[in-house]
Each structure stands twice: as structure tokens, then as C-alpha cells.
């Protein structure tokens, strides 16, 4: 596993973004782990997060695109942080853009904030985590309503590696249904590999009991591919 992936996993633990316990996902699944990017709360944390996203984006999509779209609300700071890092690390001056939950009818009117999107633009979507793949079906129509936009793909922080609407992974379903390439900074398999029975700051984050719970979760919801 690359060093930056290990660093990112530990970064999530330090920021309390990656948590273990009893949770329920947006799709209604009871899960022993949860990723909440809302816990990145300081400038320093967002700067580091943007750097990790920028590397994942550049590795998968390069930097020859125009817009990084972050769906409201969590995608707003993600897109802003990542384009700053793309500019600093790769010299790529990419626009950030997000949608409003309600259309603004005065001043800077419309459904979008940040940079505009239009005909001929190439865009990448940035999200925190995709579990069942439902949010992408809401985001794509917003982008494509702006014009003839080429949506290259989707980047998330963590691939939960579980079923979407069927038996395949949510990211695989997105690829097959919408023709989008997908990537993640890390997968849950990499998270488990790095933290299982390995002390971090004097603590075992994933012990045998938790590992059994994670394994049981994947027996029920794990993707076939």
C-alpha cells in the first residue's frame, strides 16, 4: 500500500472522520463503521484533505478538465479544497462548482455557486462516500442541464466496497449505468489491512471482535465485484 494511503487512513482516525461502532447509513444499512467528512473542521485539516483528493484525482483523471463539481452540502468544501490543492501541486487552474438546494432568484441567480459550467466543459464529481450510489442520480441531471458537459467520473474519499442497488459495488454500478470512471483515495479493504491488530498511537483500532463485525457486514452487504 502506498504511503499516502496509510497517512490518509491515520488522518481520518485523527480527525474522528472514521469511526467504528453501531451506525445506520443513508441507505438504511446497519454498519460497524462510518465515514463522516463533516468532521474535517479546520483549515489545516481541509488543506490536507484537499491534497489527498488532488492526488487521487490526478492519478485517475489527470488535470486536463475544467470543473470539479461538489454536490451540496458536503461537496462544497471538498471541491474548494481540492481545486486549491490541484493548483498548488499540479499547476492546474480548475474551477470549483456546487449546487444550491434551493434556486436563488436574486443577485447571483440560479442553482449553481462557484464557477459556471457550460458547453464543452469536462467535469469531475467529488463526493465524500458512496454507499448505494443514489446521490449520483441526483447530481448528473444538474450538471447536464447546464449544457453539453462531458462528465469524466467520480472521486470519493473511501470506497466502502459494498453492494449498490444490486449485487455489484455502488461504484461499479455507477460506472456501468452512467459510463463514469470512479476512484477513491482508499478502500475499506485498505483501511482494515492497515489498522487490524496494528497499534496506532498506543491503541488497537480494529481488534478481532471489530474485525468479525466488519466481516459479518460484508457477508451481508459486500459486493460481488
Bridge partners, residue 114, by sequence: 97
- Residue-wise burial string across 31-50, b where 16 or more C-beta atoms lie within 10 A, e elsewhere: bbbbbbbeebeeeebbebbb
Task: Assess whether 106 carries a catalytic annotation.
Answer: yes
Helices (H), 99-169: 136-144
101, 106, 109, 201: the active-site residue? 106
Q: Which residue intervals of the chain are DSSP H helices?
A: 3-14, 43-61, 75-90, 136-144, 170-178, 188-195, 208-221
- State the catalytic residue, choosing from 104, 109, 177, 211: 104
The yes-or-no answer on residue 16 being catalytic is no
> Rg of the chain over CA atoms, in angstroms?
18
Residues 66 and 51: their CA atoms lie apart, in Å, by 18
d(CA 41, CA 23): 21
SS3 label, residue 72:
coil
Taking phi over 0 as left and psi of -120 to 50 as alpha, with beta for the rest, 117 belongs to beta
- Please give the torsion angle defined by the CA atoms of residues 174, 176, 180 and 183, in that order, rounded to the nearest 10 degrees: 60
The x, y and z cell numbers of residue 225, run together, are 465485484
Q: Which residues are part of the catalytic machinery?
A: 104, 106
Amino acid at each position: 500500500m502506498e504511503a499516502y494511503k496509510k497517512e490518509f487512513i491515520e488522518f481520518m482516525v485523527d480527525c474522528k472522520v472514521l469511526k467504528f461502532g453501531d451506525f445506520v447509513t443513508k441507505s438504511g444499512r446497519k454498519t460497524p463503521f462510518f465515514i463522516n467528512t463533516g468532521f474535517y473542521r479546520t483549515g489545516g485539516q481541509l488543506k490536507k484533505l484537499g491534497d489527498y483528493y488532488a492526488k487521487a484525482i490526478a492519478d485517475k483523471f489527470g488535470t486536463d478538465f475544467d470543473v470539479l463539481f461538489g454536490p451540496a452540502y458536503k461537496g462544497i468544501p471538498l471541491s474548494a479544497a481540492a481545486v486549491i490543492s490541484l493548483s498548488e501541486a499540479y499547476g492546474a487552474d480548475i474551477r470549483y462548482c456546487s449546487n444550491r438546494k434551493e434556486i436563488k432568484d436574486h443577485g447571483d441567480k440560479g442553482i449553481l455557486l462557484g464557477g459556471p459550467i457550460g458547453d464543452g466543459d469536462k467535469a469531475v464529481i467529488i463526493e465524500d462516500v458512496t454507499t448505494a450510489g443514489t446521490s449520483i442520480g441526483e447530481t448528473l441531471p444538474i450538471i447536464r442541464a447546464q449544457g453539453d458537459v462531458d462528465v469524466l467520473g467520480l472521486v470519493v474519499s473511501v470506497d466502502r466496497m459494498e453492494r449498490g442497488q444490486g449485487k455489484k459495488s455502488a461504484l461499479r454500478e455507477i460506472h456501468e449505468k452512467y459510463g463514469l470512471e470512479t476512484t477513491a483515495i482508499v478502500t475499506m479493504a485498505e483501511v482494515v489491512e492497515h489498522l487490524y491488530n496494528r497499534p496506532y498511537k498506543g491503541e488497537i483500532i480494529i481488534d478481532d471482535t471489530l474485525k468479525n463485525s466488519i466481516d459479518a457486514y460484508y457477508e451481508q452487504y459486500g459486493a460481488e465485484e
